[in-house]
A and B are shown apart, each in its own frame.
Chain A
Amino acid sequence: MEYFSALVITGIAVGALYGLLAMGFAMIYKVSKVVNFAQGEVMMLIAYIAYTVATETGGSAFAVVAAVIVSAIIIGYLLERLVIRPMLGQPVFSIVMLTIALAVLIRAVVGIGWGVDPHRFPVDLDSGGLQILGVRLVASQVLLLGVYASMCIAVWSFLRFSVIGIAMRATAADSTTAMMMGISPSQIYRLAWIMSALMAGTAGVLLAMINNIGIEMSDIGIRSFPAAVMGGLDSVIGAGFAGILIGVIENLAGGYIGSGYKEIAGFAVLLVVLMLRPYGLFGEKDIERV
């Protein structure tokens, strides 16, 4: 039983990371029907920028937060403006391939710019962490859970109550009608990309603090894919929740079946879920008009 609860709690800590990334996927997909396969790479790029800022400033936490916010805004804006906007209206296949190419490009650029060896992230949290049900979590994991929970609440209330959030949902439902109501879809798309980069960047820095920072961290982007799809690509909160689910399932599979199966457990579950519910657990069923 203790083993089980240990697996579940560490699984939740990993799942929070998947959840943050999956929410970023869902955010972009919801408003513009584009899946950003480069989400993991965006996360890595922002984490590396934060890493450079942290080493330059001697590990100041304030500087790292500022770096994440500023670089996420710039990167989100540039990606939307330069890469995605010219391709809007093209078939799904072209845009998917474009974001995959983007992922390959960012990964290679980071490899040339920062090298491929992992580094230790130079920000330390002094406090000693937390004990839950006999399982120790380090301070950065506790911080991750806190950030995840507050991000979920913030995104939910943003989409539910704020004027911009409602405009976002309106664009997602019907962009032409939204445009007639005075909403600018291109501004909404830009905002979605920036918010998604922000979530990815936050996840990236937290991941770098828990593990080290290295080029492999972008694999988390692909690993969090099952979460986004399982939650239903157009349900932001559903994706966040499915992240936790995937994290726990992966950990249980790793603990009880064998450590090698940890990496594929999420994908296996995804295959089963999609066969039963092709639009994910919380996604809206697509009704096609002929």
Chain B
Amino acid sequence: MRTATYQESYIQLTQLLPFRDGWVWYGLLMAALFTLPLVLPTYIATYATLVFIAAVGAIGLNLVTGTTGLISLGHAGFLAIGAYTTAILTSKYNVELLTCLIASGLMAAVLSALVGVPSLRLKGLYLAVTTLAFSIIVTNIILQAEGLTGGSGGISVKRTSILGIPVDTPAAVYYLCLGTLVLTTLGALNLQRSRVGRAWSSIRDYDIAAILMGINLMYYKLLAFAVSAFLTGVAGGLLAIHVRYLNVDAFGVLTSVEALAMIIVGGLASVRGAILGALLITVLPDLSRLVFSFAGGALADLSAAHAQELRAIIYALLIMGFLRFEPEGLAAQWSRTKRYWSEWPLTKRSS
């Protein structure tokens, strides 16, 4: 009698969804997401769009920080590069959106060499500071180049069409972001399970050992930054299409911290974790505001007067709490819950 699930061939090991149940459940999830804007009010679809965009960016950041272990405090810079590329291309040159998104990603990927090259020599904290410097330089240059970016006045984005289909309603933007997220998820999962992903993890675990195993450190570190920046740039482009008006203040250091909070809360090096983290971090501030306003009294006044500060406090406490008590994040929680129920009456408490 079989006592557990055994994987007997390489193909079985690398299957994304080894069981028929998985296909059913993910199919149901996709169907639910697909019908969501048709049945629920527009503001929920708008909210979900924001979560999708955050998830694309978080998956990108997770590839470089979670999988490869290179700390980046500068992803707000890549987000800004992507967003402004799309904004400039649509508003000044009326370019079709698919081209814009790809251009956004490529622009960010090319500029990522600016932090990728120093990362070959820097480790840990020095790299974190370099990426921070990069994002501050990017936002300041955007502020200075008024002719192109509108400077401190901001820039508006034109919603052109994609493959001949006009993107003019919130529902259209929703489907665009959903499609991008699905592609990103599949792409990231495939990268992580392939030769490239294994090289990245080995660099994270011990770079000197990785060199001795014949991994080209320069190539894989630059590739990690480029892929990660590409995805974040695409997220920036989607953000530009979604909000329709860009201001450089939205790409501050706090945005990078927010993105890191997503992958810490979700779980480093896990695609599912990045998506769960993006969902939690995007929804939580508004959810807590709702709770505070129901609580009434002094709490409601506080949340009305200091919405920004409360938001910051919630991030900070979440990051601190997860780092201290659940460093593996929501992804670990997920697999623990799954194991509990799959072995249900016979579950051992210790694991």
Contacts and interface: CB of A to CB of B under 8 A. Distances in A.
Contact of B310 (A86, A108, A268): A108
A104 B252 CA distance: 13
B261 to A, nearest CB: 8
A286 to B, nearest CB: 8
Given A105-B313, A225-B132, A274-B118, A96 B71 contact: yes
Interface string A218-233: 0000100110010001
B302 interface: yes
B317 interface: yes
Interface residues of A, number: 42
Given A98-B323, A275-B121, A260 B257 contact: no
B254 A104 contact: yes
A98 B40 CA distance: 38
A36 B310 CA distance: 23
B323 A270 contact: no
Given A264-B137, A288-B208, A225 B316 contact: no
A96 B128 contact: yes
Contacts of A96: 71, 125, 128
Contacts, number: 123
Contacts of B132: 222, 225
With most chain B CB atoms within 10 A of its CB, the pick from A97, A98, A101, A263 is A101
B312 A271 contact: no
A108 B316 contact: yes
A86 B324 contact: yes
A267 B137 contact: yes
Contact of B323 (A97, A108, A225, A271): A97
Interface string B247-272: 00000011001001100100000000
A264 B320 contact: no
Interface in A94-153: 94, 96-98, 100-102, 104-105, 107-109, 111-112
Interface in B127-141: 128-130, 132-134, 136-137, 140-141
A270 B128 CA distance: 12
A290 interface: yes
A29 B129 CA distance: 14
A278 B118 CA distance: 8
Nearest to A230: B129
A109 B65 CA distance: 29
Interface string B141-182: 101100000000000000000000000000000000000000
Contacts of A226: 129, 133
Interface residues of B, number: 46
Nearest to B320: A101
B126 interface: yes
Main secondary structure on A side of the interface with B: helix
A74 interface: no
A278 B208 contact: no
A111 B309 contact: yes
A80 B160 CA distance: 53
A278 B123 CA distance: 9
B323 A94 contact: yes
B260 A97 contact: yes
Interface in B39-75: 65, 69, 71, 73
Most buried by A among B129, B144, B264: B129
B117 interface: yes
A275 B125 contact: no
B66 to A, nearest CB: 10
B328 to A, nearest CB: 12
B306 interface: yes
Nearest to A280: B126
Contacts of A98: 319-320, 323
B125 A267 contact: no
A271 B302 CA distance: 42
Contacts of B313: 104-105, 108-109
Given A101-B316, A101-B320, A260 B143 contact: yes
Contacts of B324: 86-87
Interface of A: 29, 35, 83, 86-87, 90, 92-94, 96-98, 100-102, 104-105, 107-109, 111-112, 222, 225-226, 229, 233, 258, 260-261, 263-264, 267-268, 270-271, 274-275, 278-279, 288, 290
Interface of B: 65, 69, 71, 73, 114, 117-118, 121-122, 124-126, 128-130, 132-134, 136-137, 140-141, 143-144, 208, 253-254, 257, 260-261, 264, 302, 306, 308-310, 312-313, 315-317, 319-320, 323-324, 327
Given A101-B261, A261-B140, 16 more contacts: A83-B320, A92-B124, A92-B125, A93-B65, A93-B124, A94-B323, A97-B260, A98-B320, A105-B313, A107-B312, A222-B136, A226-B129, A229-B129, A264-B136, A267-B137, A275-B117
15 contacts: A35-B128, A93-B124, A97-B264, A97-B323, A101-B323, A108-B306, A112-B306, A112-B309, A258-B144, A260-B144, A267-B137, A268-B133, A271-B134, A275-B117, A275-B121
